[in-house]
Amino acid sequence: MADPIVTHALGRSFGKVVALDDVTLTVPQGEVVGLIGANGAGKSTLLKVLVNLQQPSRGRAELLGQDSRLLEASIFERVGYMAEGQHLPAVRTVGDLLAYCKPFYRRWDDALAERLLETLDLGATTGLARASRGERMKAALVATLAFHPEVLILDEPLEGLDPLTREQVVDGLLELVSAEGTTLLIASHDLDVLERLLDRVAMLHHGGVLFHERLDDLQARYRVVELGGISLADASRLPADALDVRASGTGVQCMLTDFDDEATPATLQAAFPGAAVHVTRPALRDAFVAHARTLRSAVRTRGAA
């Protein structure tokens, strides 16, 4: 079976502003891929191109084997898309929303909708006019999941939600993904919550793909390293893969992106004799922040040159 989401040297420009630049990305069948990056990195633009809300300026995108510019109506019966700040039809209650959406999908499942409402602690009689942002987002999510989509494309579905609601939304996604093998591409800043879902992670920077790999592989290579008893003047002896090098309380801290459990500690001890070396595994958020700080520092350095 072909990969459900594929982009080939995808580009999208708005006048002189380049939103996407040579994005080549594959989301394998049944996997969950997280799209991360700073605001303006191109995440929302990429998702909109995939569902033909925007058209590429260069290259192409494919969704379930079809060119994104030529998607047939049948494709949208198989794809769930939810955008940040999702607008809902002008209906009174959550139940009315589900009744409104049901006729558009031949695979609509009332029983699944009921289970999702229970998982998300949302009542069918909840009024939408005065509903909280969290309630409206949960209602949109139920409507997006209740027809058994083969592919889910979600843009910041957790934005602005309280911690309990975020956990409930992730529980709803986990239920669908684990039960049905749904393919999920999700853009989110809530990396601590998102990490529970992901098989792969892709980071965008200035419209391009900085890295795209399995989360397990990334976590196997990345380490936060603290070197006690040294100063930033000694940092030039750090390995070439060091990111986000900065002073810590007792010395220097950095992120190493190609850490080898056997070789790297010996290399560090040889480079910094007598230094106290402390190594920890980073969370996804730590890895993102290290890349983001390094990139921002590089931009400032170029600007000052």
pLDDT above 70 coverage of the chain, percent: 97
Fold annotation for 5-217: Rossmann fold (3.40.50)
If you average pLDDT over every residue of the chain, what do you get? Answer: 91
Alpha carbon of residue 208 to chain centroid: 15
CATH code of the domain occupying 221-304: 3.30.70
Span 96-140, pLDDT tens digits: 999 999 999 999 999 999 998 998 889 999 999 998 888 888 899
* Least confidently predicted of 10-24, 40-54, 148-162, 291-305: 291-305
DSSP per position, the chain: ---SEEEEEEEEEETTEEEEEEEEEEE-TT-EEEEE-STTSSHHHHHHHHTTSS--SEEEEEETTEEGGG--HHHHTTEEEE-TT----S-SBHHHHHHHHGGG-TT--HHHHHHHHHHTT--TT-BSTT--HHHHHHHHHHHHHTT--SEEEEESTTTT--HHHHHHHHHHHHHHHHHH--EEEEE-S-HHHHTTT-SEEEEEETTEEEEEEEHHHHHHH-EEEEEET--GGGGGGS-TTEEEEEE-SSEEEEEESS--TTHHHHHHHHHSTT-EEEEEPPPHHHHHHHHHHHHHHHHHHHHH-
pLDDT at 305 over 80: no
Span 161-201, pLDDT tens digits: 788 888 888 887 887 788 888 999 999 988 988 888 899 99
Ordered by start, the domain boundaries in the chain are 5-217, 221-304
pLDDT at 25 over 70: yes
